[in-house]
């Protein structure tokens, strides 16, 4: 596209961006509790179809929809079994879609792959199981015995229907092999290409040849191996090329030039151009103290032309702003002010592209753009009932913790001055981070008049391994200090009324919510724990993390095993220090954080005469998926917060 791309793109969008009057009616709790109507969208290589994963209204099943883009053909809605979910859509040729059987994951907004892969044609008539595990029944043997996790590594465009699939066995010992297969997704036929012991996955070149892999030892330290040329034997990748850790590796068309995010010593990674044969690298881009983010590629299989970061202040970096695809993306960004634009796929000829727009006010919309005709087609809206003009603004913040560490976070607010605030620590905690964008819980609370503070305390992701490790064995210590220092920073900057602050979180966030009122009772009027960890010694004994050796090693690293330290940092062991009302919510069949945690804290709180309200949702796991249960949770939270920091509490002088 020429330099006029911004103007032509903007003009093409005028019909789609008509102004709409803001509704005066407050969004309901159910508006925020409902899941999106579409989870994923994928564009066929010939540009004739899109495939979408669409959950049912009750979120108990996800179906595949095949939509003809000419508007003439029939939309096909394919089910893959009662109460089944699907995800990870990939078109492997013009008439074949592969997808994964999926399941709802703890506290995640959409289902994620279970490692079983299937394929279908657009009509749903030619369905194949590519990888899966099926039990024997009576005298009939199950079709497949792939007990493990399979994922597509690369679509081989020069061999229609063929892909490379990485498979990791689950019943082959603690450190199983990774096997690379070439699979015809139309027939299900497969051939083993490569097998490596203890690896965590392969990187392949444009011709599908395995060129690098990484494995980790018991201390989670990586080692990287590569083939300098396609004909080379495996050899350790030199530190001058690989650094300590490498990720997002992909090749240019010459199969020697590659691009990757690299960290040398555990710091936030930077983006490099690599010469495999020469063993050298050149820095392309870096954002000090922040990981690379999302890579923008020039067309279907082209080289990178830019990066998107949504950590802290959102930003887009173009390596050459005058390049064809940089101008294309800049035009899209200009056409959607206040949004980030992510490119989701191109047709084989790069004429049509699928992209999505997201912002702090907008959960997301998918569009198709025809680069030749400069025409847009709206494909799907994630949550059409959400009115962006009613949503609150998400403001990136930065401050110094008491020991001088720089901490980043976000303040979601409609306030023009200090008002009530809810502190919302994220779960995880290690390697997870809040980012700029639309957040259900933050926007719900903001719609009820609360500012919402989210802190990426030490231990959070997107700032390198070293920052993650700063949180090890600091669950009840410096991680809590970082959150409290953020509260004080917001109060000092007139973003919150210091007498009207509560805290709420899920999983580790639930733990942090209760530890905050123990460590910093002067800051808070109430606390809400949702699927939270409340007894660290108990966490070492029950729950699915400790069921695997790798999980037990993880708990050793991040918590330690000193009983006195674990007790001192467990809310259930320190309820005598909790002087504020508490609301606890939990799922009855939570395996990550079983009900034992909920019961331990509830019993201890009641023994100390504390005010405690509870909600137990039958049949829910680590986080609620039922829209009814999520709605009830939001409504119960709203009523609880009103009592202690809402307008009624302010008038009563609480």
- pLDDT-derived band at 14 (thresholds 50, 70, 90) equals very low
Which residue's structure tokens are 């809810």? 422
Q: Are strands 294-297 and 235-236 parallel, antiparallel or unpaired?
A: unpaired
In a domain, 88, yes or no: yes
DSSP 35: P
- Please state, in angstroms and rounded to a whole number, the distance separating the CA atoms of residues 512 and 250: 39
DSSP 232: P
- Please state, in angstroms and rounded to a whole number, the distance separating the CA atoms of residues 204 and 153: 8
pLDDT greater at residue 145 or residue 107: 107
CA distances from 202 to 179, 227, 234, 255 (A): 9, 12, 12, 15
| pLDDT at 106 (0 to 100) | 73
Question: Would you say 5 and 331 are in contact if contact means Cβ atoms under 8 Å apart?
Answer: yes
- Please state, in angstroms and rounded to a whole number, the distance separating the CA atoms of residues 65 and 80: 12
In a domain, 522, yes or no: yes
In a domain, 18, yes or no: no
What average pLDDT does this structure show over 383-391? Answer: 95
Question: Would you say 300 and 329 are in contact if contact means Cβ atoms under 8 Å apart?
Answer: no
Supply the mean pLDDT for the chain: 90
- In sequence order, what are the residues at sequence separation of 6 or more whose Cβ sits closer than 8 angstroms to the Cβ of residue 237? 212, 224, 225, 226, 246
- Please state, in angstroms and rounded to a whole number, the distance separating the CA atoms of residues 334 and 347: 23
Closest to 172 measured CA to CA, from 149, 205, 203, 189: 149
- Hey, what are 351's tokens? 């004429």
For residue 24, pLDDT beyond 80: no
Domain that holds residue 78: 39-197
Which residue's structure tokens are 């699907």? 86
In a domain, 415, yes or no: yes
Domain boundary, last residue among 174, 197, 220: 197
Domain boundary, last residue among 197, 230, 260: 197
Question: Would you say 434 and 409 are in contact if contact means Cβ atoms under 8 Å apart?
Answer: yes
Which residue's structure tokens are 């920091």? 645
In a domain, 203, yes or no: no
DSSP 140: B
Write the CATH number for 189: 2.130.10.10
List the single range of 41-45, 181-185, 244-248 with lowest mean pLDDT. 244-248
SS (H, E, C) 568-586: HCCHHHCHHHCCCCEEEEE
- In sequence order, what are the residues at sequence separation of 6 or more whose Cβ sits closer than 8 angstroms to the Cβ of residue 123? 66, 76
- Please state, in angstroms and rounded to a whole number, the distance separating the CA atoms of residues 175 and 177: 7
Q: Give the dihedral sign, CA 480/244/165/173.
A: negative
| pLDDT at 651 (0 to 100) | 57
For residue 5, pLDDT beyond 60: no
Q: Which pLDDT tens digit goes with each residue over 498-532? A: 999 999 999 999 999 999 999 999 999 999 999 99
Q: Which pLDDT tens digit goes with each residue over 539-593? A: 988 888 888 878 888 899 999 999 999 999 999 999 999 999 999 999 999 999 9
Strands (E) in 220-374, as ranges, are 222-226, 235-236, 245-251, 257-263, 270-275, 280-285, 294-297, 304-309, 315-318, 340-346, 352-358, 365-370
Beta-bridged to residue 228, according to DSSP, are none
What average pLDDT does this structure show over 57-79? Answer: 84
Question: Would you say 27 and 447 are in contact if contact means Cβ atoms under 8 Å apart?
Answer: yes
- Please state, in angstroms and rounded to a whole number, the distance separating the CA atoms of residues 519 and 568: 11
Closest to 307 measured CA to CA, from 318, 291, 322: 318
Write the CATH number for 578: 3.40.50.1820
For residue 139, pLDDT beyond 60: no
- pLDDT-derived band at 13 (thresholds 50, 70, 90) equals very low
| pLDDT at 104 (0 to 100) | 77
For residue 329, pLDDT beyond 50: yes
Counted domains in the chain: 2
Q: Which pLDDT tens digit goes with each residue over 184-209? A: 999 999 999 998 877 678 999 999 99
- pLDDT-derived band at 650 (thresholds 50, 70, 90) equals low
SS (H, E, C) 518-552: HHCHHHCCEEEEECCCCCHHHHCCCCCHHHCHHHH
- Hey, what are 286's tokens? 């870096």
- In sequence order, what are the residues at sequence separation of 6 or more whose Cβ sits closer than 8 angstroms to the Cβ of residue 527? 502, 503, 504, 513, 514, 516, 517, 578, 580, 581, 582, 583
List the single range of 15-24, 31-40, 590-599 with lowest mean pLDDT. 15-24
DSSP 282: E
Q: Which pLDDT tens digit goes with each residue over 297-318? A: 999 989 999 999 999 899 999 9
In a domain, 162, yes or no: yes
| pLDDT at 78 (0 to 100) | 84
| pLDDT at 20 (0 to 100) | 39
Beta-bridged to residue 30, according to DSSP, are none
pLDDT greater at residue 101 or residue 574: 574
For residue 138, pLDDT beyond 90: no
- Hey, what are 462's tokens? 């997107």
For residue 482, pLDDT beyond 60: yes
For residue 19, pLDDT beyond 60: no
Domain boundary, last residue among 180, 197, 214: 197
- pLDDT-derived band at 467 (thresholds 50, 70, 90) equals very high
In a domain, 317, yes or no: no
In a domain, 106, yes or no: yes
């Amino acid at each position: 596209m020429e330099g006029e791309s911004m103007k032509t793109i903007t003009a093409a969008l005028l019909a789609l961006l008509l102004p709409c009057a803001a509704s005066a009616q407050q969004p309901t709790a159910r508006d925020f509790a409902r899941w999106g109507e579409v989870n994923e969208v994928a564009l066929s290589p010939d540009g004739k179809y899109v495939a979408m994963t669409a959950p049912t209204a009750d979120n108990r099943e996800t179906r595949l929809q095949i939509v003809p883009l000419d508007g003439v053909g029939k939309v096909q809605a394919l089910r893959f079994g009662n109460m089944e979910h699907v995800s990870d859509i990939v078109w492997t040729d013009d008439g074949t879609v592969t997808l994964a059987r999926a399941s709802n994951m703890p506290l995640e907004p959409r289902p994620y792959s279970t490692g079983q892969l299937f394929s279908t044609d657009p009509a749903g008539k030619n369905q194949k199981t590519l990888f899966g595990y099926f039990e024997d029944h009576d005298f009939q043997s199950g079709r497949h015995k792939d007990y493990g996790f399979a994922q597509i590594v690369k679509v081989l465009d020069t061999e229609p229907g063929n892909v490379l699939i990485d498979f990791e066995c689950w019943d082959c010992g603690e450190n199983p092999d990774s096997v690379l297969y070439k699979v015809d997704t139309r027939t299900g036929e497969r051939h083993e290409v490569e097998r490596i012991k203890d690896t965590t996955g392969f990187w392949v070149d444009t011709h599908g040849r395995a060129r690098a892999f990484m494995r980790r030892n018991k201390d989670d330290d990586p080692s990287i191996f590569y083939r300098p040329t396609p004909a080379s034997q495996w050899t350790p990748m030199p530190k001058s090329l690989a650094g300590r850790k490498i990720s997002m590796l992909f090749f240019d068309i010459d199969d020697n030039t590659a691009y990757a995010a690299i960290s040398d010593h555990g710091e936030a990674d930077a983006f490099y151009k690599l010469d495999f044969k020469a063993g050298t690298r050149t820095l392309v881009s870096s954002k000090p103290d922040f990981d690379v983010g999302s890579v923008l590629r020039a067309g279907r299989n082209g080289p990178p032309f830019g990066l998107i970061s949504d950590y802290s202040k959102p930003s887009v970096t173009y390596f050459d702003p005058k390049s064809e695809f940089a101008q294309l993306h800049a035009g899209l960004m200009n056409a959607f002010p206040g949004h980030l634009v992510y490119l989701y796929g191109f047709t084989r000829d790069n004429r049509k592209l699928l992209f999505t727009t997201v912002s702090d006010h907008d959960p997301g919309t998918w569009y198709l753009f025809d680069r030749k005709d400069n025409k847009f087609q709206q494909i799907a809206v994630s949550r059409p009932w959400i009115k962006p003009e009613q949503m609150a603004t998400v403001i990136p913040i930065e401050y110094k913790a008491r020991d001088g560490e720089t901490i980043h976070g976000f303040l979601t607010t409609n306030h023009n001055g200090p008002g009530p605030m809810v502190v919302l620590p994220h779960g995880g905690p290690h390697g997870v981070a809040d980012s700029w964008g639309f957040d259900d819980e933050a926007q719900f609370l903001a719609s009820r008049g609360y500012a919402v503070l989210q802190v990426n305390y030490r231990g959070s992701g997107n700032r390198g391994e070293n920052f993650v490790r700063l949180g090890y064995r600091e669950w009840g210590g410096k991680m809590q200090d970082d959150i409290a220092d953020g509260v004080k920073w917001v109060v000092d900057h007139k973003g919150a009324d210091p007498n009207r602050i509560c805290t709420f979180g899920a999983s580790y966030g639930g733990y942090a919510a209760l530890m905050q009122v123990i460590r910093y009772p002067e800051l808070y009027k109430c606390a809400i724990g949702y699927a939270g960890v409340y007894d660290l010694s108990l966490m070492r004994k029950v729950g699915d993390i400790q069921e695997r050796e790798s999980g037990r090693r993880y708990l050793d690293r991040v918590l330690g095993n000193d009983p006195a330290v674990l007790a001192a940092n467990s809310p259930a062991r320190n309820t005598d220090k909790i002087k504020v009302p508490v609301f606890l919510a939990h799922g009855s069949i939570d395996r990550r954080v079983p009900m034992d945690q909920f019961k331990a804290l509830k019993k201890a709180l009641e023994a100390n005469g504390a005010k405690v309200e509870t909600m137990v949702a039958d049949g829910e796991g680590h986080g609620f998926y039922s829209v009814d249960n999520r709605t009830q949770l939001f409504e119960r939270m709203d009523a609880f917060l009103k009592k202690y920091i809402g307008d009624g509490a302010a008038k009563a002088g609480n």
